[in-house]
């Protein structure tokens, strides 16, 4: 099924000038962008976004890290995009993420792990709404579509 998922290029990625390389990985894979912009995150949005971490001792530290510079938020589309992007990202801790994954190739840290990626269809819907207005998401013809998938895969 064609899905949309939310990816955030974290401040560590912006500051290490890795945005182009990371975005390129998603494009090369065959995912396409239907929304992309730079934003500076606030406590209000982070409290909501990381609500599942609110009892953790590192909650404030993670939030502070996400506010250190602007981030790039993207909405990516493709068949099974949510799971595929999580697989590309790799496990949370960059030090144990396998080479070939984004975190495995670019991160030495649990916290400074390059990207956020939605972890389920429900979360993806909520997160896309959290970061994008409807008019900031674009439906357009993806010309490579027929070359990315067999006609019974979509």
Contacts of 76 (CB under 8 A, 6+ apart): 4, 5, 6, 7, 26, 31, 32, 33, 34, 85
CB of 154 to ligand ADP, least distance (A): 27
Q: Binding to ligand ADP by residue 67, rule CB under 6 A?
A: no
Report if residue 42 touches ligand ADP, rule: CB under 6 A.
no
Q: Check binding of 118 to ligand ADP (CB under 6 A).
A: no
Among 21, 64, 105, 119, binds ligand ADP (CB under 6 A): 119
Residue 64 makes contact with ligand ADP by CB under 6 A: no
Residue 58 sits in the site that holds ligand ADP (CB under 6 A) = yes
105-144 burial: b if 16+ Cβ within 10 Å, else e? bbbeeebbbbbbbbbeeebbeebbeebbeeeeeeeeebee
- Exposure of 108 in the CB half-sphere (CA atoms within 13 A): 1
Helix (H) or strand (E) holding 146: helix 145-148
Please, what is the minimum distance in Å from the beta carbon of residue 56 to ligand ADP? Answer: 7
Six token digits for residue 6: 């939310």
Instruction: Give the C-alpha separation, 82 to 66, whole Å.
Output: 22
* Minimum distance from residue 145 beta carbon to ligand ADP (Å): 29
Q: Which of 83, 110, 136, 142 binds ligand ADP (CB under 6 A)?
A: 110
Site for ligand ADP in 71-100 (CB under 6 A): 92
- Annotated catalytic, 116? yes
Could you give the residue numbers annotated as active site?
116
Residues that bind ligand ADP (CB under 6 A): 53, 58, 62, 92, 110-111, 113, 116, 119
């Amino acid at each position: 099924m064609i899905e949309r998922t939310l990816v955030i290029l974290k401040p560590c990625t912006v500051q290490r000038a890795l945005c182009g390389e990371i975005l390129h990985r998603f494009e090369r894979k065959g995912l396409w962008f239907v929304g992309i912009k730079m934003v500076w995150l606030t406590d209000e949005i982070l409290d909501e976004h990381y609500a599942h971490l609110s009892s953790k001792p590192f909650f404030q530290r993670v939030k502070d890290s996400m506010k250190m510079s602007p981030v790039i938020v993207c909405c990516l589309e493709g068949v099974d995009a949510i799971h595929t992007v999580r697989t590309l990202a790799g496990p949370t801790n960059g030090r144990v993420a396998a080479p070939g994954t984004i975190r495995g190739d670019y991160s030495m840290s649990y916290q400074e792990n390059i990207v956020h990626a939605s972890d389920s269809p429900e979360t993806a819907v909520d997160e896309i709404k959290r970061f994008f207005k409807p008019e900031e998401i674009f439906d357009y013809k993806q010309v490579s579509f027929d070359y990315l998938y067999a006609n019974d895969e979509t």
